């Protein structure tokens, strides 16, 4: 059983090391009016799509940055990789708890 945990732990560590460009936040897709009087968004209500990266900074600050369409796939991957990193850390925590408990029991101090 210990070998199974150690093998899974190594797999997770390897996957974690392959993640790069991590960004904590969320991509928000919305639409807006551009402000040009002759534009379809002003005359016919056809709004322009846009994407922003929204993230909290500290305890009370919230930052939003505009994401250029050509950059959106890079931001999307980085946000997804950050979420995966959190999942990996949670699973590693569970494995480490189990390994420590096994070691503690085996040493007869529990």
Report the distance separating Cα 94 and Cα 9, nearest Å: 10
- Convert the pLDDT of each residue in 46-75 to its tens digit: 899 999 999 998 888 899 999 999 999 999
Residue owning tokens 């093998």? 7
Q: Name the region of 21 (left: φ>0; alpha: ψ -120 to 50; beta: rest).
A: left
Beta strands in the chain (DSSP E): 26-32, 48-57, 61-67
- Convert the pLDDT of each residue in 9-34 to its tens digit: 999 999 999 998 899 999 999 999 98
Q: What is the pTM (predicted TM-score) of this model?
A: 0.81
In the chain, where the domains are located: 2-106
């Amino acid at each position: 059983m210990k070998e199974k945990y150690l093998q899974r732990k190594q797999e997770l560590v390897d996957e974690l090391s392959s993640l790069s460009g991590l960004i904590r936040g969320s991509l928000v897709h919305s639409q807006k009016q551009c402000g040009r009087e002759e534009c379809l968004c002003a005359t016919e209500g056809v709004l322009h799509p846009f994407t922003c990266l929204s993230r909290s900074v500290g305890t009370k600050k919230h930052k939003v940055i505009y994401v250029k369409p050509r950059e959106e796939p890079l931001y999307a991957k980085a946000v997804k990789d950050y979420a995966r990193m959190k999942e990996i850390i949670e699973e590693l925590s569970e494995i480490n708890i189990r390994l420590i408990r096994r070691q503690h029991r085996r040493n007869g101090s529990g």
